[in-house]
Structure 1
Amino acid sequence: MNRLNDKVTIITGGARGMGASHARLFVEEGAKVMIADILESEGQALAQELGENAKFIKLDVTKEENWKEAVAVAEGAFGPVNVLVNNAGISVNKSIEETTEEEYRRIIDINQVSVFLGMKAVISSMKKSDGGSIVNISSINGIVGGAIGYTDSKFAVRGMTKAAALGLAHYGIRANSVHPGVIETPMIAQEDSKDVVNDFAKYIPNKRVAKPEEVSSLVLYLASDESSYSTGSEFVVDGGLTAQ
């Protein structure tokens, strides 16, 4: 269908889970995708699977220099960046009393600081194409409460997205946040999370956990020109969970 025909895209956390789902759909829709992750073997395997319009780059999203390199590699391979999907994230299912400062700072660095660094890094490249779309993956925990650290960072992503949308609109760069509910990904399969998730799924109005592809369809819309008048907004995909 080529809804993203020749759009150069960087997807963080792209080696597996939702990120891999986004990468697959984007390539199907004509995009040229840089799969950015610290998981080298999985990322390289996915890039090989997806063919010539996908490449892998190892990216520590918490490092500004890594981001500069990722943008330069994307430009060298495909041209100026049109789309950034800030998808990388972690969660630790601990109470505030159990969470250490080191754990807290790691969550904030990966979930929050990385989004700032990514947005900052792509601006000059997007300006070369007279605009672009930034899609920041937050969570329903960027709207309602949840685990300490994770909730904090996802609220921040929601706020940063609005600030960036206002600050970058004059460049033709849009920024929106996506707020998934409970999605079938490796993150929720963690031993410290899966029992909680399975119990929680019973309270979702749609009575099920979502597939990553259901989030990818929304991310595709926001990355495409179809959403050209949408910026600074949050888009919820949660099976009705936050409507209760």
Structure 2
Amino acid sequence: MNRYTDKIALVTGGTSGMGLATAQRLIDEGAQVVITGRTGERVRAAAGQLGPRATGIAADTADLHAIDTMVAAVTARFGRLDLIFANAGHGAFAAFSDITEADFDHAIDINFKGVFFTVQKALPLLGPGAAVVLNASWTLHRADSALTLYAATKAAVHNLARTLATELGPRGIRVNSISPGYIDTPMSAGAMTEEFAAMAASRVVSRRFGTTDEIAALVAFLGSGEASYINGQDVIADGGLVAAYPQ
């Protein structure tokens, strides 16, 4: 497929997991892709893995100055963007009573403020036909304990997608969010014991975790012309986790 030939894409949090897989998928379909990550070492390693059509920029999206620097670099090199996948995020898992102000601020800074200002500051690079995909979460749709803070930040992300769709629609720019379920990523592997992972998979109708390639395929579709009439939506990719109980 060559849906992204001559297209320029930005993938935040592109050094591993869903971000890295999406960057690879877009490159495979012909795009030039800018990936960001918080450390130069990880960005360089990921960009080297992705090959010559990848550009890596170290940028902590919780830092507005870093976002400004990143956007300036993209502007200087490419002058435009056709797709933004605002993927950078942080897992905030704790009991409600244990969450501190520092925990709250950190989660908001990465999961919501960073997404908000990445899109705002990169907006001048988007023209008619461009698309924005925000990474939300299945926790929008099914409550779970120890996810109060995380779920709240992701609900904010999806609402941002809906409201931005109304504002940017007249400019020919589409905005959608995705809600991945349990996805096999380095972040999820580091946060779960084997026993918890097995329990989590048992809650999914498909009886397994999703793959990063499956999420990458969804993002590539939503950012392409094939999804030209999909706007302001949240697309759930969770193997049936929130839709039905396993038999």
Whether 2:175 is the aligned partner of 1:175: answer yes
Contact 1:178 1:235 in 2 (8 A): yes
Report what 1:231 is aligned to.
231
> Once the 2 structures are TM-superposed, how far is the Cα of residue 194 of structure 1 from its aligned partner?
5.8
- Label 1:207 to 1:104 Cα distance change in 2 as closer, same or farther (>3 A): same
Please state whether the residue corresponding to 2:25 is helix, strand or coil. Answer: helix
Greater CA drift, 139-148 or 106-115: 139-148
Contact 1:143 1:155 in 2 (8 A): no
Among 141, 144, 169, which residue is 2:142 paired with? 144
Contact 1:71 1:81 in 2 (8 A): no
Report what 1:51 is aligned to.
51
Report what 1:102 is aligned to.
102
Contact 1:142 1:156 in 2 (8 A): no
Greater CA drift, 231-240 or 55-64: 55-64
Contact 2:10 2:81 in 1 (8 A): yes
Report what 2:30 is aligned to.
30
Greater CA drift, 218-227 or 141-150: 141-150
> Once the 2 structures are TM-superposed, how far is the Cα of residue 191 of structure 1 from its aligned partner?
4.3
C-alpha RMSD of matched pairs (Å) = 1.4
Report what 2:242 is aligned to.
242
| Number of equivalences | 242
Identity level (%): 31
- 1:130 maps to a residue whose letter is P
Whether 2:186 is the aligned partner of 1:186: answer yes
Alpha-carbon separation, structure 1, partners of 2:209 and 2:32:
30
Report what 2:210 is aligned to.
210
Contact 2:93 2:149 in 1 (8 A): no
Please state whether the residue corresponding to 1:241 is helix, strand or coil. Answer: coil
- 1:70 maps to a residue whose letter is M
Please state whether the residue corresponding to 1:57 is helix, strand or coil. Answer: strand
Report what 1:82 is aligned to.
82
Contact 2:161 2:176 in 1 (8 A): yes
Alpha-carbon separation, structure 1, partners of 2:41 and 2:194:
25
Alpha-carbon separation, structure 2, partners of 1:220 and 1:34:
15
> Once the 2 structures are TM-superposed, how far is the Cα of residue 15 of structure 1 from its aligned partner?
0.4
Q: Name structure 1 gaps, 5 residues minimum.
A: none
Alpha-carbon separation, structure 2, partners of 1:195 and 1:103:
26
Contact 1:61 1:114 in 2 (8 A): yes
- Label 1:97 to 1:135 Cα distance change in 2 as closer, same or farther (>3 A): same
Normalising by the residue count of structure 1, what TM-score does the alignment of the two structures yield?
0.94
- 1:134 maps to a residue whose letter is V
Contact 1:86 1:137 in 2 (8 A): yes
Q: Name structure 2 gaps, 5 residues minimum.
A: none
Report what 1:111 is aligned to.
111
> Once the 2 structures are TM-superposed, how far is the Cα of residue 99 of structure 1 from its aligned partner?
1.5
- 2:134 maps to a residue whose letter is N
Alpha-carbon separation, structure 2, partners of 1:192 and 1:222:
30
Please state whether the residue corresponding to 1:56 is helix, strand or coil. Answer: strand
**1:100-126 Cα deviation digits (max 9, x unpaired):** 110121111111111110110121111
Report what 1:130 is aligned to.
128
